Amino acid sequence: MVTLLIGAGLIILGIVVIAHDRRTLLSGLLPFLGLLTWLTGLTPVWLASTLFVIILPLGILGEVLTHDGYWLLSRYGTSAKGYFFLVGGFLVMVFAPLFPVLWLLWRSVLTVKLMLAIYGYVAVLIDAYLLATVINALPLTIKPTKILILGAGLIKGGVGPVLRRRLLGGLALYQRFPKAELIMSGGQGDDEPEPEAVAMHRFARQKGVPKSAIRLETNSTNTATNLSEAKRFINSGDRVVLVTSDYHLLRSLLYARRQGVNCQGLAVHTLHFTFTCNAFIRELGAYTIIHRYLIPLGLVLVIILCLI
């Protein structure tokens, strides 16, 4: 009964967070922890099966890292980074399916408990990030007055596949709300002949969008500056929709929240699974860097609780 109440409390708290402002990892973490709390009352067989599903993202992570390591070694030859990805990814991939078995057989062994604590912490972080991304990609509840499309690197001086899909998603939303203004956000990289926003503007004009409906932000160099620079085109009463790739959505919305930009997100689907997994791993790494103190502290607390 106690576990049911704790689990229900966490889920209700998560719903409150989502209703207030879902642009936070807590929107995925709290409901997920509530579900985990409920699962502690399951029989060992069901619990093992459930844990396997929970840590499945670790297996995917291992597969992606292994693939990257093989690609680096085959393309660039022997390198420490290539072997690190290859061996590390393989170990993660192999350990993930064994997680429930080790938990059931050797839960009293200190070394295994530490391993499970570390792997479990990473798995929960991945799952919570995924769930928060899904929650922030739910259908829009506002009629936008501003549609902010985030840039991506130009390919051979033009709009590449990732940026093209972001633009098409934003333009489709603009067709539904033609009174809204489009904000194209993207500066010029060292390997780009022009700012991304200029190429985005040209793409939109070719699709029939009037020049008067487009605002250009050409000074940004990364996601954080996308939001800080685009903010000058946004008024306090605007209803803003931020358009970006699905893997990039949550971090973009977190930056928007930090910049005081009240918005919702429109996630544009990315076609290639391996690319999406790689990009998601980079996003999770960037999120970890943002919270470089909080996330390691959480891991230390989990390890301490495991040892008690």
**Average pLDDT, 10 consecutive residues per value, the chain (308 residues):** 82 93 92 81 64 68 76 76 76 70 65 73 84 92 95 87 94 95 91 90 94 94 92 91 94 92 92 74 82 84 78
Closest CA to 135 of 225, 11, 234: 11
pLDDT the model gives residue 126: 84
Question: 3-class SS at 145?
Answer: coil
pLDDT the model gives residue 103: 64
Q: What tens digit of pLDDT does each residue of 26-74 get?
A: 999 999 888 877 777 666 666 666 666 666 777 777 777 787 777 778 8
pLDDT the model gives residue 5: 84
pLDDT the model gives residue 270: 83
Q: What tens digit of pLDDT does each residue of 126-136 get?
A: 888 989 999 99
pLDDT the model gives residue 52: 64
Question: 3-class SS at 240?
Answer: strand
Two tokens, residue 255 = 């930056």
pLDDT the model gives residue 53: 62
79/84 Cα distance (integer angstroms): 9
pLDDT the model gives residue 208: 93
106-121 in b/e burial notation, b at 16+ Cβ within 10 A?
A: eeeeeeebebbbebbb
pLDDT the model gives residue 277: 74
Say how many CA atoms lie within 13 Å of 78 toward its Cβ. Answer: 0
Phi-psi region of 192 (alpha: psi -120 to 50; beta: other; left: phi over 0): beta
Q: Model pTM?
A: 0.82
Count of C-beta atoms within a 10 Å radius of residue 154: 22
